[in-house]
Amino acid sequence: MAFDNNALPEPPETRTIAWVGPFAVFMLWLAVDKYLPLENPVKEIARDVVILAAILGFSRRILPTLRAPNWVLSILIGVGVCALWIAPDLLVPGWRESSIFQNSITGKIKLSIPPDELTPLMLALRTARAVLLVPILEELFWRGWLPRWIQGSPFHKIPLGQYTPMAFWATALLFAAEHGPFWEVGLLCGIIYNLWMKRTRSLGDLVLTHAVTNLALSLYVILREDWRFWM
């Protein structure tokens, strides 16, 4: 499969808010979620509507550029990352109970929705958000904006996928920190995604890879009823 790193133009968007806005809205919602006077599934639907509105409102000029010319390998890498994500807990009983993963710094695994409230509608909503919305807002931030912002200003003059050790490892470490008690697989995932971005320079491929990872993980969670992966 050919890799033409110059095949796709730079996304025609120079505003920081276009890359950061949807992620900021998502994180803000997570911060205030428990205080919102809404019951499920109304709350889940409201969250998805707000996130979708943020993506369309802030990032609409970037969305048409999210093509995935390396889609076959992107799909395979996405499945592989999911396998790596669940492997430690499958292979080593009690792995996630260690204080290395659950402590006062990384936090503890706490289900955001009790399993008895995970109706078919709730499962569908959570899976759809994980596959269709989260990969876009996270990749805009983690691979589209943050590494370039670390490398210099104005960030939009830095090519997508350009590598520097500082940007690569800072992004991977912060991505790991975002995943709390799953920080070690989050770090591995961040490294793989960063390498794939460096190789393809295609944000669309990263969105696809991330979406496949989330889809595979969601299917695993639902089929095995292993809800801890849905904190």
**What is the chain's length?**
231
180: left (phi over 0), alpha (psi -120 to 50) or beta: left
Q: Please report the pLDDT score of residue 12 as a whole number.
A: 62
Q: Are 78 and 210 in contact (CB under 8 A)?
A: yes
Cα Rg of the chain, angstroms: 18
Q: Please report the pLDDT score of residue 8 as a whole number.
A: 47
Q: How confident is the model at residue 231 (pLDDT cuts 50, 70, 90)?
A: confident
Tokens of 221: 């969670």
Q: Please report the pLDDT score of residue 229 as a whole number.
A: 93
Instruction: Note the pLDDT tens digit of each residue in 8-18.
Output: 445 568 999 99
Q: Are 79 and 212 in contact (CB under 8 A)?
A: yes
Instruction: Note the pLDDT tens digit of each residue in 95-135.
Output: 999 999 999 999 999 888 888 889 999 999 999 999 999 99
**Distance set, CA 73 to CA 32, 84, 154 (Å):** 38, 16, 32
Tokens of 58: 């802030």
